[in-house]
A and B are shown apart, each in its own frame.
Chain A
Amino acid sequence: MKLNLIVSLLIAPAIVFANQPTTKLELEQQGFPVADGGIQVKPLTNISKGITAPRKNKILIAHEAIKKNGFYEIDNPEVKTIFKLGNQKPLAIGSSDSKDTHLKSSIKDVGLAFEFKGIPVNEKDVVGYAAIGGFDHGWNGVTQIFKDQDLGTCQYDLYNIKLSHGSEFIPQELVSYELNGKATLIDVRGNANSGFMYNIHWADNTKVNDLYCANMNFDKAKTQKLIELAKKIDKSVVIK
């Protein structure tokens, strides 16, 4: 009884039960991106119903700070997360169980549902590869963790939305087209205490990408290097 109560309390928030599936049209009306919807750039007010109005204001304030100073000053615990990921020891070559999602030494062992050869960084700098996204006869997403002398500890996430039928809304107030003309978001935030997270996000109709780099220092040159690396990655990762 007590256990049931605990479980009920754990799952109680924000759950709606219905006796029919929500239709695609209803989802669109409720502001959700839907299957095969592509990449759509929309005003902030029209997207992301999950984000409250005060939060949207905070997003705009952060964006202005990044434009003005190059970063948004805030204690950023996510920097530590990337550093920790970079300190992992990957599983040995030959750990090829595709249902094992731990970090692996070889991309071949991840069990991807599509061809991915890794990104153009020195092999000696690669920490490992792991599955992300969803699984259906192989994973539709992959992440690669690596170290860069200037950028720090970095992680590249790739979601093959051609396979997953994924889609994305991107706010027009924040978007640029820095990455080979594709919808791009650049976010740098942190402080001297926590370190800084440099993040570039870009998307087209076949892939959604994130490149994160954690570094204890801020330098506009690092942001520029991040952008240049992302451009190289984008050209090298082709979804067939």
Chain B
Amino acid sequence: MQKSIYLLVLTLLSINTNAAFNGLSYHSRANCAGFNESITWDARWYRTYATISDHFYGRNVHEIKLTWEDTWRSAAYHYAEGYGGWQVIGSHWMVDERTARSFYLGTTNVVNCSIYDGWWDSGSPKLNKGI
């Protein structure tokens, strides 16, 4: 069962329909039948990102901290949890490598797996890093 969900997730991540992706975005999702996550991403180009995802379950808490990474998608993703009762709080940053400006985008705070259409539609942008 878990393997099936995993395959589904990986399949979704690999879909490339050349759909529109138009800018820098961030979100968290909780209780997604086997995972919790916080994601900061921009399919247009590579930038430097940091994402922190704090996962709360009653009195239990843990944090996944993705330190600065040159990527188009910073995913603080936790597999094998998120079957109900979790709260996920994400914090999201981006540094523009061309100018070093450092942008705190905001915080996301969720208890459900609400998904928005489009976020998985684009494959990795075919760009060279570090312009």
Contact = CB atoms under 8 A, between A and B. Distances in A.
A47 B102 contact: yes
A18 B101 CA distance: 27
A167 B67 contact: no
Interface residues of A, number: 75
Given A18-B63, A59-B100, A143-B23, A134 B116 contact: no
A3 B128 contact: no
Contact of B125 (A50, A81, A130, A170): A81
B25 interface: yes
B99 A59 contact: yes
B95 to A, nearest CB: 4
Contacts of B57: none
A21 B93 contact: no
Contact of B117 (A16, A97, A134, A185): A97
Contacts of A62: 98
Given A50-B48, A166-B105, A101 B25 contact: yes
Interface in A57-82: 59, 62, 74-78, 81-82
A135 B27 contact: yes
28 contacts: A18-B62, A18-B65, A21-B61, A21-B89, A22-B63, A47-B102, A48-B100, A48-B102, A50-B48, A50-B95, A55-B130, A77-B45, A82-B44, A99-B114, A99-B115, A103-B20, A130-B22, A135-B27, A141-B23, A141-B25, A159-B24, A165-B107, A170-B99, A171-B99, A174-B100, A187-B99, A189-B98, A199-B98
Q: Which 6 A-B pairs have the closest CB atoms?
A: A50-B68, A132-B23, A164-B106, A101-B118, A99-B116, A130-B22
Interface of B: 3, 6-7, 10, 19-27, 44-45, 48-50, 52, 54, 61-69, 75-77, 79, 89, 91-93, 95-108, 114-119, 125-128, 130-131
